Chains A and B, each alone.
Chain A
Amino acid sequence: MTLNVVLPQSSTKVRATALDVHYGDKQALFGVDLDIRAGEVTALIGPSGCGKSTFLRCINRMNDLVEGARVSGSLTIDGSDIYDRTIDVVQLRARVGMVFQKPNPFPKSIYDNVAYGPRIHGLAQDQAELDDIVMTSLEKAGLLNEVKDRLLETGTSLSGGQQQRLCIARAIAVEPEVILMDEPCSALDPIATAKVEELIDELRENFTIVIVTHSMQQAARVSQRTAFFHLGKVIEIGDTEQIFTNPQQPLTQGYITGRFG
């Protein structure tokens, strides 16, 4: 739906330069150079094990949690290196939210799920403000109408698609600048997927979004720019329309036409 819109030139939000990632002895990313622009949806596509999720998890340093993971090269957000020793990973993750492959609401009420981030970061001065943040986030995630009468029920009682939108509401409640999505629709049925995709398109106004997806149709539907990963390297990056209609690299063409992957 967005393919024919002429994109405004926007500024770079996240910039990776010569980024290498090792898991123990295994190298997962080889010298990745990638710019992600503010206010756009960037899709990362490629066959399984190509390093797209690894790259995504570098942006909020979730790889720190993996034993034996080493990151070298530089990765900047708004020009400042997030692997610098002065950067506090807790503050970084408040700026870079994440939505996971499988919906993972906490075993708490719907309200507490959304209020969790604002609470740990002290974003609300009082209860009224917190209520306001929760309601706005649920509203933005398109979930408010479905759950407004059952805010105190547990988040796990929702359907899969609702749970995933709850997780998105939970992420945007912290008002991050960047939202990372790791195959957010792979556990959802087509109707729930359509709702989440619609939501991603709306969120683009306020957030920079990076989405990993296995579905090329999804990449084409929701993203403005697409990067193709293969064996730990970025093969090609460009406007989504160009990647899907006129790929420059034979590997990219092979993948999007379904010859491998």
Chain B
Amino acid sequence: MQTLTLAAILLLLSSFAFRLGRKRAFAVSAHEPRSLHSLPGYYGSWVALWCGLPAFAVLIAWLALEPTLVRELVITDLPAAMQTLPAERIDILINEVRNAAQGHATANPDLAAAAEHYNRLRQVSFAAVTAISVAIALAGAAFAYRRVQPALRARPRVESSITVFLVASSTVAIFTTIGIVLSLLFEALRFFQMVGFTDFLFGLNWSPQMSTRSDQVGSSGAFGMIPLFTGTMLISLISMVVALPLGLFSAIYMSEYAQPRVRAVAKPALEILAGIPTVVFGFFAVITVAPLIHSAGEMIGLSVASESALAAGFVMGITLIPLISSLSDDVITAVPHSLREGAFGLGATRSECIRQVVLPAALPGIVGGVLLAVSRAIGETMIVVMAAGLSAKLTFNPLEAVTTVTVQIVTLLVGDTEFDSPKTLAAFALGLMLFAITLALNVVALHIVQKYREKYD
């Protein structure tokens, strides 16, 4: 709260600095705006940047360093007997001090004293940072204010600092990706220290439990990912069998046959489908589709599991229709009109024109969209968690219950988990494999789209 107030004060100072800088620019130009290198606003922004940036840098550095600093100071002030405790015990003590500092009573007088010390330290440090940052803000503003001259190249300076902001924003996403991949990688490496890499990659059994004692029943866990990946592939395949023709045909209808009025209604309606949360599709799969397939199977004498790969894959396919259809619709519409005219001019019928000219021209884009849909299907979680079941059976029969990589990651991490057992770490290894596969698919999709794209102008 205090920090927010300080930040608001600094912003206020910056806005004052902006006005002052602009005014100063008018003044030094002697009411001859053309003599200024840049527009007056740029001088204002330049002064405001000098006022705000260093002060905020100090504030952010303080926010990052203050907790550790205060903690170290509190520890050195604790009684000697406490300081020699192991690190985990000290953590607990510090937690208690923090609680006490927030007004919770503590039984230990030493800790009560430490809590008081803690509060005092925080107050002092905040007062210090307030003084320092405001001083820096004023100094920065004064420095910049005095240097406002008609010859000062204010616009390039302001614009280059904006470029720095833009670069920083775009690197946030990149560093997040790198961070996630690295954390996946390191946790997965810890997993592979406990379970062999080849056992994981090529193992045909999946039963992720570990014994705590050697004489336990069922003590041997198995971490073979093959059953999970066949399950994922089976369900993805079923979903693509559903989504590909339906999505493609609806795209062809929308872009080539539909009257503008039909299109104006049908296209948004199809896109609403994409907006339905997958969890809703999930219970649709469990409550409606799975029993339907089950009883349909019974009628013709097939035994269908109550949670079948078919049900999950079918519903997942429905969710992918809008993706495939809207991507394909875009690329089909982007095929130049002149190609269609060329075909019609030779006496092609509408269907010949679509099949032989428009679709081949749109094919790279369609393939790219389909691969995108496949990687979505592989990573899809909610529907399969609800509808696909948990039994890691190695089967290609769509009527049986299978499990997928994503489902297993969810079950491994739900509930009480300890982060040093292979059971939990296996989730990271699975996540890494999933990431590798979808990444490879996306790379292939991009490559295909770029390589075979016809250049139309």
Query: Residues of A at under 8 Å CB distance from B?
Result: 60, 62, 65, 89-94, 97-98, 100, 102, 104-108, 116-117, 120-121, 154, 156, 167, 170-171, 174
Contacts and interface: CB of A to CB of B under 8 A. Distances in A.
Contacts, number: 69
B361 A104 contact: no
Contacts of A171: 345-346
A89 B350 CA distance: 11
Given A65-B344, A93-B344, 16 more contacts: A65-B341, A89-B347, A93-B345, A94-B346, A94-B347, A104-B338, A105-B342, A106-B342, A106-B343, A107-B360, A107-B454, A108-B360, A116-B346, A120-B347, A156-B454, A167-B342
Q: Which of A60, A92, A106, A117 has the most CB of B within 10 A?
A: A106
A-B interface, 10 closest residue pairs, ranked by CB to CB distance from nearest: A93-B347, A98-B345, A104-B338, A94-B347, A117-B346, A104-B342, A107-B454, A107-B361, A90-B347, A106-B357
Q: How large is the interface on B (under 10, 10 to 19, 20 to 34, 35 or more residues)?
A: 10 to 19
B346 A170 contact: yes
B115 to A, nearest CB: 76
A120 B342 contact: no
B357 A117 contact: no
Nearest to A91: B347
Contacts of B348: 90, 116, 120
Contacts of B298: none
B345 A106 contact: no
Given A62-B344, A93-B345, A170-B346, A106 B339 contact: yes
Contacts of A104: 336, 338-339, 341-342
Given A104-B338, A106-B361, A60 B345 contact: yes
Contacts of B357: 106
Contact of B346 (A65, A108, A174): A174
Interface in B415-457: 454-455
A105 B454 CA distance: 11
B356 A116 contact: yes
A139 B346 CA distance: 19
B352 interface: yes
A209 to B, nearest CB: 15
A206 B185 CA distance: 72
B349 interface: yes
Contacts of A97: 345-346
B339 A100 contact: no
A120 B341 contact: no
Given A104-B336, A104-B342, A117 B455 contact: no
A99 to B, nearest CB: 8
Contacts of A107: 339, 360-361, 454
Nearest to A98: B345
Contact of B341 (A89, A94, A100): A100
Interface in B383-429: none
Contacts of B342: 100, 104-106, 167, 170
Contact of A117 (B336, B338, B347, B360): B347
Nearest to B260: A67
